Amino acid sequence: MELAEKMKDRFGLKMCEVVPSDPVNPLSIIGLAQAAATEMERHLKATEPKVIAFGTGRALRASVDQLPAMDCPQHRIVSLLGNMNSDGSASAYNVIIRMADRINARHYPMPLPVFARSTEERTLLHNQEPVHNILELSKKADVTFVGIGNMDETAPLFIDGFIDRSELDALNAAGAAGEITSWVFDGDGQLIEGLTNSRVASAPLVPFSEKPIVGIAAGDLKVDAILGALAGHLVNGLITNEATAELLLAR
């Protein structure tokens, strides 16, 4: 709790949850997922209808797996990005359909690849009526949950095959520190000009949002990415672990 308060004061966060680190398994995200599920459940228990937006990734999927079965027909859950590669293959870490099965809510998956082949193709895709409606719905989100990805050789975008080695190298040469919903940003939280950001099909990021945008991330490799997201006010809430919070506060 003390670390969480320090994090809120230092980075101007609306909310922060710091869970104990597992010294035996420092890469474990179980505690992180449990804390995130508790925060999600708090919003899902609301009787008034809410729009809840989600990114994708390992931490988010693990969090959804920790949710109890619920009946939430009053809520709408919307994906901020697609999960298809250019060859039609899909990531295993999309959470919307998985979550809808657990909580019985109306759900709006994004029927798009993560990256379009060009800026022009992205515009065409976004102008399709179902996609346009989902993008408009995402703007109305009462709360958003996202993962924060690192941009080194273990970057999820690279490991999962959404970008290749040359694209990763170009992004790193341009100062990439992290990514949220495949939008790549630098250490100040500013979007990298051009490169894959000219083709990413995700809903736009919303810096300085008045609504809660909760990042779920932990680990040494994520520190630069989390710091960038905090510096750019791309998230205003954070769920992380003790070791990561100490590293963030030491920078």
CA distance 25 to 238: 21
Question: What is the predicted pLDDT for the residue at 26?
Answer: 65
24 in any annotated domain:
no
| Structural domain of 163 | 2-19+30-40+50-250
pLDDT tens per residue, the chain (251 residues)?
Answer: 899 999 999 999 999 999 998 777 766 788 899 999 999 999 999 999 999 999 988 899 999 999 999 999 999 999 999 877 777 777 767 788 889 889 999 999 998 999 999 999 999 999 999 999 999 999 999 999 999 999 999 999 999 889 999 999 999 999 999 999 999 999 999 999 999 999 999 999 999 999 999 999 999 999 999 999 999 999 999 999 999 999 999 98
**pTM score, whole prediction:** 0.94
122 in any annotated domain:
yes
25 in any annotated domain:
no
Question: What is the predicted pLDDT for the residue at 105?
Answer: 93
Read off the tokens for 116: 């379009």
Question: What is the predicted pLDDT for the residue at 142?
Answer: 97
45 in any annotated domain:
no
Rounded to 5 degrees, φ, ψ at 54 are -135, 140
Bridge partners, 241 (sequence order): 19
Question: What is the predicted pLDDT for the residue at 107?
Answer: 93
Buried b (16+ CB within 10 A) or exposed e, 203-218: bebbbeeeebbbbbbb
Number of domains within the chain: 1
Helix, strand or coil for residue 190?
A: coil
* Residues near 70 by beta carbon (within 8 Å), at least 6 away in sequence: 41, 44, 45, 102, 103, 104
Question: What is the predicted pLDDT for the residue at 1?
Answer: 85
Assign residue 75 the CATH number of its domain: 3.40.50.1360
CA distance 17 to 35: 7
